[in-house]
Structure formats: C-alpha cells, structure tokens
C-alpha cells in the first residue's frame, strides 16, 4: 500500500472522516431488532446511541461502578461482569461487539475474550485501529504504549491477521475490511491528537519523559500525522447466520466479502469507495436463550505484568516498518501471534439459573 502524499484541507478532512465513520458503522451490520452486546461503555458513547437509534436492543457488559453511573441515562441495559467470563448463555445475543476495546486489555486475555464473545454472540464484530504506518504515528504509538505499560495499562495495536486468527478459532465464516484515509490531514490534526494524548497522560500521571517527548513532536515544523485506519472483522458460524446486507455492502466497498476460516483470506486494503449494493438481507437466525446471571461468576484474575525499565532514548529502529503488516505494534515479545490451538471453556454452571 503506497503512503498518501496529498493533503486534505480542513473541510475535506471533516467530510472524509464522517464518510469513513459511516462505512465502519455499516460494516458492523447492527440493525433494528438486533440483540447487541457491547464490551464496555468506552470513552465515546456514540456507538451505543447509534445502535439504540437504529432500533437495536443494546446491552453493555461493564464492571466499573463509576462508569455505569456516568452512562446510566443512555438507555442501554447493563450486564455487570467481565468479558473474560460473560454471564450469559450461549447465543444470547445476535451480535457481540468489541469496538476499539481489545487493544486496551492485557494481550493474555485476547483469545479468552474473543472466544467468550463467540460463545454468547451468533455474530461477532471486532473493530480495531490499524497499527500506525507513518514515522510520526509510529513514534507517538511507541511513546504512548510504553507510558501505558509503565502505568500498568495496555495499548497494543495488531494487524488484521492477528484478530482473524483469534476469531477463526470459533467462527467459520469471516469477512474483513480496512477503512483508511487516502490523503494526509491538515497539521491541526497532529496538534489536536497530541494535545488529547498529553491531557490524558497528565491526568493519569504518566512519566514526564513521555510527556516531554510528545510535546517535542508537536513542536516539529512541518510534521504531519496520518490517522490510523480502522479494521472491521465480522465472524459468523458456517451455517445458519448470514452476514447482514449493509455489512456486506461496506465490506464490498473495501473489496472484500466473507472468507472461510479454513482458507487464508486475501490481504485487506484501505477503501476509497462508497458503499455498493449488496445481496438482500437474509432472514435472522432463530433466537435461542436470554441473558441470565450465573450462580458462581468465575472471571479469572489478570496475571502480573512485568514492566520494563523506562527507556532513555527512542532508537530509530523502533520506528521501522512492520514486516508485511503482520507484526503487532507496541506489544511485548511473544504476543505478535495468537496462541495456536488455545481453547478456554467457561464453567459448566456459568449462565445457568
């Protein structure tokens, strides 16, 4: 994929941002009547509002009391619990969604969470940022990921192949696409992005080293930042559950359709096209069981994470190109690929009344 060299003006960038956001939303396939499970409220409740406006029945799985209280007026149901042991019966939801969620949790739990979403959701949707592809973006991601790691938090970006392999462990049919900007945004985008990161890091008491480094990037004359693309992966069983028509239309706009998990899918490419017409909507799969509270919640505790010492310098090699976009970005050694053959089963009584 060639790197963009042309530049948007301010209004062009706003229009393109809105268009791509619309395509990403369409690719999720969420529609009227869908029982939707979302992983956490997240910093932006816009997805929840839009799903409710579409007529979906939205449930958010959340464990933080202050976050639940802050979002109680949104109108979504709340399922108190952990995404690593979701307190619901198999196929309780039409679609289970991890929207920009997985890169912010411990990579040790990626496979666990994806399999739990696959257990409770007939369809699983993963929306994630692409690893950065330009030098400034890589440097920002490196600094931010290391700052998060020192705070005991996570910010690891993975290529589509990583999430596809995890999803293919439990869903046979997978469609995927990457939606990316074709040109570089105005310099104001870089300034706004760095200011947002700096505000967040100051609130979280991140080490001053990283704050100073990010501030220096903002002051570099002529520096530009290419926004990270968004990847969307939709997984369904091989039989009985079709990928929705509007999801397929958005995927087709990026040049992709459903892939068999048993055969290697084609590499995703960024889209610059508008959504096309897709096949008619298939009838929804028969609904099975309803959400219930388990008698013995058994969410595994996160394991301790060994933090590396703070770097004294960011070497130029840290900003090199990932090989064929197959490497994760910012993750510690050993997490660039999902564990082969790993399988987790919930307790037998989880989700039973």
pLDDT of 107 reads 94
- Encode pLDDT of 323-349 as tens digits: 333 445 555 444 444 444 443 333 334
pLDDT of 66 reads 92
228: phi > 0 → left, psi -120 to 50 → alpha, else beta; which? beta
Q: Give the separation between CA 226 and CA 40, rounded to whole angstroms.
A: 27
pLDDT of 257 reads 47
By residue count, the chain amounts to: 353
| CATH numbers and ranges of domains, the chain | 10-278 (3.40.50.150)
CB-based contact 45:75 (threshold 8 Å): no
pLDDT of 225 reads 93
CB-based contacts of 210-218 (< 8 A; 24+ apart in sequence): 210/143, 210/144, 210/146, 210/147, 213/143, 213/314, 214/140, 214/143, 214/144, 217/136, 217/139, 217/140, 217/190, 218/190, 218/191, 218/194
pLDDT of 42 reads 85
pLDDT of 4 reads 61
- Encode pLDDT of 257-308 as tens digits: 444 343 333 333 333 322 222 222 222 333 333 333 333 333 333 332 222 3
pLDDT of 3 reads 61
Low-confidence ranges of the chain (pLDDT < 70): 1-5, 255-353
- Encode pLDDT of 165-186 as tens digits: 999 999 999 999 999 999 999 9
Tokens of 246: 């509007």
Tokens of 343: 């399988």
Q: Maximum CA pair distance of the chain?
A: 62
């Amino acid at each position: 994929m060639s790197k963009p060299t042309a530049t948007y003006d301010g209004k062009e960038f706003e229009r393109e941002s809105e268009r791509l956001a619309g395509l990403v939303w369409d690719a999720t396939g969420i529609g009227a009547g869908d029982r939707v499970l979302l992983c956490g409220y997240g910093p932006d409740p816009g997805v929840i509002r839009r799903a409710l406006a579409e007529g979906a029945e939205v449930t958010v799985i959340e464990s933080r009391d202050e976050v639940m209280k802050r979002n109680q007026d949104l109108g979504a149901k709340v399922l108190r619990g952990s995404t690593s042991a979701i307190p619901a019966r198999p196929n309780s939801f039409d679609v289970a969604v991890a929207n920009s969620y997985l890169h912010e949790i411990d990579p040790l739990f990626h496979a666990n969470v994806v399999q739990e979403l696959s257990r409770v959701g007939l369809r699983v949707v993963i929306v994630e940022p692409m690893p950065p592809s330009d030098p400034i973006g890589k440097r920002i991601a490196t600094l931010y990921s290391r700052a998060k790691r020192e705070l005991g938090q996570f910010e690891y970006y993975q290529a589509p192949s990583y999430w596809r392999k995890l999803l293919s462990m439990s869903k046979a049919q997978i469609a995927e696409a990457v939606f990316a900007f074709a040109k570089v945004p105005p310099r104001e985008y870089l300034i706004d992005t760095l200011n947002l990161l700096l505000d967040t890091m100051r609130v979280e008491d991140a080490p001053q080293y990283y704050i100073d480094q990010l501030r220096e990037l903002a002051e570099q004359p002529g520096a530009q930042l290419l926004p990270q693309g968004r990847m969307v992966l939709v997984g369904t069983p091989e039989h009985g559950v079709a990928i929705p028509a509007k999801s397929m239309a958005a995927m087709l706009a990026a040049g992709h359709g459903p892939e068999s998990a048993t055969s290697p899918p084609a590499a995703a490419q960024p889209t610059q096209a508008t959504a096309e017409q897709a096949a008619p909507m298939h009838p929804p799969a028969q609904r099975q069981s309803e959400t219930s509270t388990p008698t013995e919640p058994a969410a595994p505790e996160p394991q301790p994470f060994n933090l590396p010492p703070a770097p004294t310098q960011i070497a130029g090699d840290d900003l090199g190109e990932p090989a064929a976009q197959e490497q994760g970005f910012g993750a510690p050694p050993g997490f660039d690929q999902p564990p082969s053959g790993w399988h987790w089963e919930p307790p037998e009584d989880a989700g039973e009344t």
